[in-house]
Structure 1
Amino acid sequence: MYCAALFDMDGLIFDTERSIKSVWQQAAQLQSLNIDDSFYSKFIGVKDVECEDMLKRYFLNADFSLDKFIFDRDRLMAAQKRNTTEIKRGFDTLFHHLLDQQVKLALVTSSSLSQVQHHFKDYHYLSSFKVIVTGDDVVKGKPNPECYIRAIQGLNVKADQCVVFEDSNNGMRAGLAAKCDCVMVPDLTTPSHTIREKATAILSSLEQAIPLFTPTSK
């Protein structure tokens, strides 16, 4: 049985990906530019600074100001932060099962620590994560495995004792590159062919992962 569970945050624990996508698209529209859903899918699970580099390249031949985009995006995001972030179906059930089984928990997200603190501020979960790795802590974000390697080391476990939970292909690539077993619960993106082949499971909700952490009788 696995002894550790490593969780992504946006789109997996919290139903945030749609609102984040909307903010990025609105910020681009304020410069009469378009971030379509296909291009935005490359951002999911990736650090903001790396997404911003992609934007600069994407709009290289357009009248695009990254400084204005960041200002508008952050302003729109701040307005959204007045609301409580909704927990996704299945997380609470799995979370308490893992605590009952004394499974070590880590939070591994491309978001900043301030975003983590905001999302969890109305909930009791955050203190139960033994390790928290944010985008602030790594040089290279997902799909690079640095974040998951840091979490594994922080939990003092082996990679093959861990299950990584992700909602995006980029996050799954990071977990697989760290040599963990990986479970995808898709949100905005569907699993790629390669991810389908390599995933331990593709689930529709987190509570479906409970059997992975349930002792079997002999």
Structure 2
Amino acid sequence: MFAAAIFDMDGLLIDSERPIMAAWIEAARTLDIELSHAQYLQVVGLAIAESELILGTLLGGPEAYRHAIDHVRKLLQLQRAEGLPMFPIKPGAAEFLGALRQRGTRCAVASSSTSGQIQACLGSLDVLHHFDAFAGGDEVVRAKPDPALYLLAAERLGVDPAQCVAFEDSENGAKAALAAGLRVVIVPDLKHPPASIVERAFHVLDSLHEAVAHVPRWFPGQVIRT
């Protein structure tokens, strides 16, 4: 059915949204501001410029935003300094990627994170070798929901977008993949996409664990014996 799979990273392959949200809430407290979960969820899935504008408004302006983001970076780097991966892999991700590799399915990442961040994060989790191509937010002019990232990833795979399926957790990511001509499987994370997006999805899963059972039907490629 599909010749290739293209994955979002944050909130889909790696559990980054929760620790980042916790860091922002803690950073806001250093400014004597109580940033709620609901307020933070406004920026999930947005491009950096949009999220900066919203968080800056919530925190009291550009200077407060700069203070907070410095604190967020320090909190996340502290975890890395303790010898832990900055973000853990999402349940089922490694298993699903391994199953795709066994079928010879080409895989790529299309993430708003930079190409360097993509390779560093996935390399630290020992899943980088499952991917044939990467498209990072630093390589396109417009971020999701613009289709540029998915079009670039499909081009680098050498596969027609219509033969690819995207795995996404966010509304903007799903919109980007659909606009690029891909089918979309939604695996919601912190913020469930609206019904208007869910209705256009090829499938909705609770986790990537569930995706493993669909591999033989969705990816009928040649099984590779090892």
TM-score normalised to structure 1 length: 0.87
Task: List per-residue Cα deviations over 1:82-139 (Å, max 9, x = no partner).
Answer: 3123222211222122112221111111123343233223333213312111222122
Aligned CA distance change for structure 1 residues 198 and 63 (closer, same or farther; 3 Å): closer
**Number of positions where the alignment pairs a residue of Structure 1 with one of Structure 2:** 214
Q: Distance in 2 between matches of 1:119 and 1:43?
A: 21
Q: Distance in 2 between matches of 1:143 and 1:25?
A: 26
Instruction: Give SS of 1:99's match.
Output: helix
Give unmatched runs, 5+ long, in structure 2. 222-226
Q: Distance in 2 between matches of 1:51 and 1:44?
A: 8
Q: How does 1:1-218 map to 2 (within 5 A)?
A: 1-59=1-59, 65-82=64-81, 83-84=84-85, 85-209=87-211, 210=215, 211-214=217-220
Q: Distance in 1 between matches of 2:137 and 2:202?
A: 25
Say whether the 8 Å CA contact 1:31–1:64 is kept in structure 2: no
Q: Which letter does structure 2 place at the counterpart of 1:13?
A: L
Instruction: Give SS of 2:91's match.
Output: coil
Q: Distance in 2 between matches of 1:158 and 1:42?
A: 33
Aligned CA distance change for structure 1 residues 63 and 198 (closer, same or farther; 3 Å): closer
Say whether the 8 Å CA contact 1:185–1:203 is kept in structure 2: yes
Instruction: Give SS of 1:198's match.
Output: coil
Instruction: Give SS of 1:81's match.
Output: helix
Instruction: Give SS of 1:65's match.
Output: helix
**How much has 1:64 moved relative to structure 2?**
5.1
Q: Which letter does structure 2 place at the counterpart of 1:126?
A: L
Q: Which letter does structure 2 place at the counterpart of 1:24?
A: W
Say whether the 8 Å CA contact 1:107–1:129 is kept in structure 2: yes
Q: Distance in 2 between matches of 1:63 and 1:135?
A: 23
TM-score normalised to structure 2 length: 0.84
Instruction: Give SS of 2:199's match.
Output: helix
Give unmatched runs, 5+ long, in structure 1. none
Aligned CA distance change for structure 1 residues 91 and 153 (closer, same or farther; 3 Å): same
Q: Distance in 2 between matches of 1:201 and 1:106?
A: 19
Two-structure CA RMSD over aligned residues (Å):
2.1
Say whether the 8 Å CA contact 1:47–1:111 is kept in structure 2: no
Say whether the 8 Å CA contact 2:98–2:130 is kept in structure 1: no
Say whether the 8 Å CA contact 1:45–1:110 is kept in structure 2: no
Aligned CA distance change for structure 1 residues 57 and 179 (closer, same or farther; 3 Å): farther
Say whether the 8 Å CA contact 1:44–1:170 is kept in structure 2: no
Q: Distance in 2 between matches of 1:176 and 1:69?
A: 34
Aligned CA distance change for structure 1 residues 208 and 214 (closer, same or farther; 3 Å): farther
